[in-house]
Structure 1
């Protein structure tokens, strides 16, 4: 499955007890449609994402970055401490493709200098500063 959306906050790397590392981040996907009354309805879907192949990718997964992810989706349900039923979506990413930059960070400097190599179809990931600075 493929999803395309914006990273909602900077990615974080977690190290598990067996020394494996996972990159955790969330992605928001905006959608809109017109209902039967002709009114425009905006809908946002959030995915909690995990990427296991390389922790180095965390430096480029910054808030606002537009990404296309390939992987598997799963649903989870739980009961909150207040007794309310909750549900969410997980996405286990196997490939990450960048479509635009988020906030400027040290990580982007490393990517620009070619020190970061991504596994998969895209051998090298490079980011370019957008020519027009958008307000979001």
Structure 2
């Protein structure tokens, strides 16, 4: 399955006990719909992602980057601190494409050009 969204914070490379490395990041998937005769409803779904194929990819996965991730999506149930049943949406990513970079600010403080000048962002981005 494929998901498209913006990264919520910079990716982190974690090392497991057996010295394997995994890139962990989270994607915010923004959607909206308009029920008949009512105001538009905006919905954001968060998906925790694990990417095992190339740890160097973490250098490019910064907060606000628009990505397309394809892989195996699953729900992981758990019990919250308050004792209630909860779940997280997760994805073991097999393929990752970067569609747009976040706007960067240089040392002087002026905004630099976005890698994709046509991407102006969206009002429903959670950043």
**TM-score of the pair, normalised by structure 1:** 0.76
Which stretches in structure 2 are left out of the alignment for 5+ residues? 106-113, 122-126
1:13 equivalent to 2:13? Answer yes
Please list, as runs of the form range in 1=range in 2, the aligned pairs for 1:22-61 lying within 5 A after superposition: 22-61=22-61
Aligned equivalent of 1:129, options 115, 118, 122: 115
Match of 2:74 in 1: 74
Q: Deviations over 1:8-59 (max 9, x none)?
A: 0000000001110000000000000112443211101100000000100000
Please report the RMSD computed on the Cα atoms of aligned residues, expressed in angstroms: 2.1
Higher helix share: 1
Distance in 1, matches of 2:74 and 2:85, equals: 17
Q: Tell me if structure 1 keeps the 8 A contact 2:100–2:119.
A: no
Match of 1:90 in 2: 90
Deviation at 1:129, TM superposition (A): 3.2
Which stretches in structure 1 are left out of the alignment for 5+ residues? 106-127
Distance in 1, matches of 2:7 and 2:81, equals: 27
**What is the total number of aligned residue pairs between the two structures?**
114
**TM-score of the pair, normalised by structure 2:** 0.81
Deviation at 1:134, TM superposition (A): 4.8
Q: Secondary structure at the match of 1:59?
A: helix
